[in-house]
Structure 1
Amino acid sequence: MTRLLLGVTLERICKAVLLLCLLHFIIIMILYFDVYAQHLDFFSRFNARNASRAHPFSNSSRPNGTAPSYGPAGAEAPSPSTKPSTNQSATEKPLQPCQETPPGLVGRLLIEFSSPMSMERVQRENPDVRQGGKYTPPDCLPRQKVAILIPFRHREHHLKYWLHYLHPILRRQKVAYGIYIINQFGEDTFNRAKLLNVGFMEALKDDDEYDCFIFSDVDLIPMDDRNLYRCYEQPRHFAVGMDKFGFRLPYAGYFGGVSGLSKSQFLKINGFPNEYWGWGGEDDDIFNRISLNGMKVSRPDIRIGRYRMIKHERDKHNEPNPQRFTKIQNTKMTMKRDGISSLQYRLVEISRQPMYTNITVEIGRPPPRLARG
């Protein structure tokens, strides 16, 4: 009886060992095929990455980060020294136009200025931006080419935050853009509008295919990336609601902060006035020019056109212009002779930084005021 029980026990043990061996074999095979599949996936991704580097529309295929050249329809022209092979042209699909509403937008943004900011950080966060602050979407053909112009003097602290927030926003918006800082040379009275006229001229000298111009103060950050930085059928006012105004439009004719005009719209109003020295008035003059030329200002929804302003003291040599109210009343008489057609300035220096192009100019000083009486 004892021998019988011992035999049954041994049989059960043998069966258990066999089952364990079979289970071990199955697990080994699963692991083997999993590793083999990972190797196949790695090599396929490696080959795909190499193929993308060789893609004619890839930014990394351009030596020294040079800007692409564009054909009449905005498509990048192929290099004359390279010819695609028959197999390549048969498999690769041409880029499609970028969607009207980019799919990668996130909506409302958290904007804060308490964290320390540096140009090195901005550069690390935006590796796809080319020298001079230029970018072109790699996966679609942009519908416009946008020059963003910022009047500037002694605002390096603000500029870091502006670049930190705006570069990612513009990339998500699928904008082909270049950023130009128009720096006023010297310490004479500041002239925002004249600097923007200079920016328009110098941006076109840099690339005559710009067809849209965004004029932005350096201390204003959009709070929603659905506020698309592009040009529209009518001149565009982007900064509808600033935090300093309680996120409301201060008055119906307000056109300050951030605005956009196409090349044809800008030329139609003869650009901006050159004779507004000091703070205030030039935005109302521009609004008058738009209205007098039969155009209307368009705006985004107030919930989307919100902006945060970096708080700061008023700049030295940018005191309120006491003549601004008189000048605004005379826009109809002055706009044909005062503007892009009468612009005079001296170019001091052009410096292409990793995240922007700096244009330093000397724009003169205001004429002496006549003594009263």
Structure 2
Amino acid sequence: MTRLLLGVTLERICKAVLLLCLLHFVIIMILYFDVYAQHLDFFSRFNARNASRAHPFSNSSRPNGTVPSYGPPSTNLSATEKPLQPCQETPPGLVGRLLIEFSSPMSMERVQRENPDVRQGGKYTPPDCLPRQKVAILIPFRHREHHLKYWLHYLHPILRRQKVAYGIYIINQFGEDTFNRAKLLNVGFMEALKDDEEYDCFIFSDVDLIPMDDRNLYRCYEQPRHFAVGMDKFGFRLPYAGYFGGVSGLSKSQFLKINGFPNEYWGWGGEDDDIFNRISLNGMKVSRPDIRIGRYRMIKHERDKHNEPNPQRFTKIQNTKMTMKRDGISSLQYRLVEISRQPMYTNITVEIGRPPPRLARG
């Protein structure tokens, strides 16, 4: 019996020793592979540094992270950075309804401080995605510096959230002759393309209109776009079905198809109805955002001097079909006075002439 117990005890001791040996072996292997991995990582980094020094334009040191098939090395992306993807149709950073007020004092210094990413001349490109369009925003202008500060204060952040690649152009009418909004916008179209021929979308905006919702995307669509669907001065309603005033947008091809805007509407009113007629007569339709999104606030102001209502506007609107081929971008004449690139916009001052003398009645 004693011998049997002794045999069992020895057997258990042997098994325990074997287990300890096995455990020791496993620990040794783990430590071995850990040290081996560290050495391997060291030599890999060492070799990479040597390769980088020997070939400074190799793929490992190339900011682009890709090897072009020809030409000089790219310097746009880091080694770990992926190529930019197209910007989303609906940008993720939009906030929706905005609080717009004009009681707080505004200065250009504040606007510039709030928009450090905007380049000289009022230009911006999204850094994190490829924009689908390049947009020129054109504002007909004279003596509205106060309004311009608020417009820039609100629109720059909105446009950046919308992931728009854009440039802002103030088309300033030189002198004190009768104002001509549509002709200034024709000038803006021509001068913006001279500045950057890649513009393929043009948005025409009055300086006193601020969108109240950043989901009202400032881009061009398959059909000409009317953005200012509901202004506060109209009770946030469309005043009539053919209204195309305030803020509108046309692609380059759409604008050329209608021969641009009319040049012969001197004074206030009528030119936006003429543009609507041109769109319809060329087989296009006006598109609009939802009335709840296309809301705008207008900065209240007195009517400008030398921008009195045009008494000939109703007759001219009725004759759009006869005049649109000869009166427009094809017949535009003006004199460029000055181009000034400010931090938040590009100012283009032009002399556009004066209205022809009116025929005496009778």
Contact 1:53 1:61 in 2 (8 A): no
TM (normalized to structure 1)? 0.78
C-alpha distance 93-115 of structure 1, shift in aligned 2 (>3 A): same
For residues 24 and 113 of structure 1, the distance between their equivalents in structure 2, rounded to whole angstroms, comes to 78
- 1:89 is displaced (CA, Å) by 6.3
Mapped to 2, the partners of 1:329 and 1:13 lie a distance apart of 112
Same amino acid, percent of matched pairs: 99
- Shift in Å at residue 295 of structure 1? 0.0
**100 and 86 in structure 1: CA distance in 2 versus 1, 3 angstrom threshold:** closer
Q: 1:51 to 1:67 in 2, by over 3 A?
A: closer
In structure 1, how many angstroms separate the alpha carbons of the residues matched to 2:178 and 2:145?
A: 19
SS at match of 2:127: coil
> In the superposition, relative to structure 1, how do residues 104 and 368 fare at CA in structure 2: closer, same or farther (>3 Å)?
same
1:91 CA displacement: 2.4
CA distance in structure 2 between the partners assigned to 1:114 and 1:20 by the alignment: 82
Q: 1:296-329 CA deviation, whole Å, 9 max, x = no partner?
A: 0000000000000000000000000000000000
Q: Is the Cα–Cα contact under 8 Å of residues 239 and 305 in structure 1 kept in the other structure?
A: yes
* 1:14 counterpart = 2:3: no
In structure 2, relative to structure 1, the CA distance for the partners of 1:270 and 1:63 (3 Å cut) is farther
Where do residues 213-224 of structure 1 align in structure 2 (5 Å cutoff)? 213-224=202-213
Given that 1:58 and 1:138 are in contact with CA atoms closer than 8 Å, whether structure 2 keeps it comes out as: no
2:241 match: 252
Q: Distance in 1 between matches of 2:340 and 2:81?
A: 38
Change in CA separation of 1:253 and 1:85 when aligned onto 2, cut-off 3 Å: closer
- What is the CA–CA distance in structure 2 between the aligned matches of 1:256 and 1:142, rounded to whole Å? 27
Q: In 1, distance between residues paired with 2:138 and 2:46?
A: 40
CA offsets per residue over residues 82-114 of structure 1, 9 Å max, x none? Answer: xx5899765221000000000000000000000
Kindly report structure 1 stretches of 4+ aligned residues shifted beyond 4 Å. 1-72, 84-90
**Segment of structure 1 superposing worse, 172-181 or 45-54:** 45-54
Q: Distance in 2 between matches of 1:305 and 1:243?
A: 11
CA apart distance, 1:42: 24
Contact 1:148 1:179 in 2 (8 A): yes
Counterpart secondary structure, 1:167: helix
Q: Contact 2:64–2:81 (CA<8 Å) still a contact in 1?
A: no
Q: Is the contact between residue 235 and residue 265 of structure 1 (CA under 8 Å) also seen in structure 2?
A: yes
Equivalent pair of 1:279/1:318 in contact (CA under 8 Å)? yes
Q: Is the 8 A contact 1:273 1:339 kept in 2?
A: yes
Residue 20 (structure 1) shift? 37
After superposition, what is the alpha-carbon deviation per residue over 1:191-225, rounded to whole angstroms, capped at 9, x for unaligned?
A: 00000000000000000000000000000000000
Q: Following the alignment from structure 1 to structure 2, what is the Cα–Cα distance between the partners of residues 327 and 55? A: 70
Within 2, Cα distance between the matches of 1:6 and 1:168?
88
Match of 1:24, SS?
helix
**Structure 2 length as normaliser, TM-score?**
0.80
Task: Give how far 1:47 is off.
Answer: 21
Please give the secondary structure, in 1, of the residue aligned with 2:292.
coil
Distance in 1 of aligned mates of 2:175 and 2:11 = 99
Whole-Å Cα distance in 1 between the matches of residues 263 and 65 of structure 2?
Answer: 36
CA distance in 2, matches of 1:109, 1:53: 53
Secondary structure at 1:90 match in 2: coil
In structure 2, the residue corresponding to 1:315 is in which secondary structure? coil
What's the CA shift for 1:9? 47
Say if 1:147 and 1:203, in contact at 8 Å, map to a contact too.
yes
Q: CA deviation at 1:46?
A: 23
Corresponding residue for residue 359 of structure 1: 348
Query: How far apart, in 2, do the equivalents of 1:245 and 1:299 lie?
Result: 16
Q: Would the aligned equivalents of 1:242 and 1:309 in 2 still touch at CA under 8 Å?
A: yes
Q: Partners in 1 of 2:182 and 2:67 — Cα distance?
A: 28
Contact kept in structure 2, 1:59 and 1:65, CA below 8 Å: yes
TM-aligned CA distance change 1:197 to 1:88, over 3 Å: closer
SS at match of 2:336: strand
Asked which structure has the greater CA Rg, the reply is: 2
SS at structure 2 position matched to 1:233: coil
Q: For residues 256 and 169 of structure 2, what CA distance do their matches in structure 1 show?
A: 19
Report if aligned partners of 1:132, 1:353 keep a CA contact under 8 Å in 2.
yes
Q: Contact 2:337–2:351 (CA<8 Å) still a contact in 1?
A: yes
TM-superposition CA deviations, 1:238-292 (whole Å, max 9, x none): 0000000000000000000000000000000000000000000000000000000
Task: Quote the Cα distance in structure 2 between the aligned partners of 1:28 and 1:154.
Answer: 84
Change in Cα spacing, 1:300 to 1:86, as seen in structure 2 (3 Å) is closer
Equivalenced residues, count:
362
Alpha-carbon distance between aligned partners in 1 of 2:67 and 2:149, rounded to the nearest angstrom: 23
The 3 A distance-change label for structure 1 pair 35 and 178 is farther
**SS, match of residue 140 in structure 1:** coil
Inter-CA distance 155–55: structure 2 relative to 1 (3 Å threshold): farther
What SS does structure 1 have at the residue aligned with 2:60?
Answer: helix
Distance 1:67 1:276, change over 3 A: farther
Deviation at 1:136, TM superposition (A): 0.1
Change (3 A) 1:39 1:4: same
**Cα displacement (A) at 1:44:** 21
Q: Within 5 A, what are the aligned runs for 1:115-130?
A: 115-130=104-119
The alignment partner of 1:64 has SS state of coil
1:29 Cα deviation after fit: 30
Task: Tell me, yes or no, if the aligned pair for 1:66 and 1:130 is still in contact at 8 Å.
Answer: no
Three-state SS of the structure 2 residue aligned to 1:89 is: coil
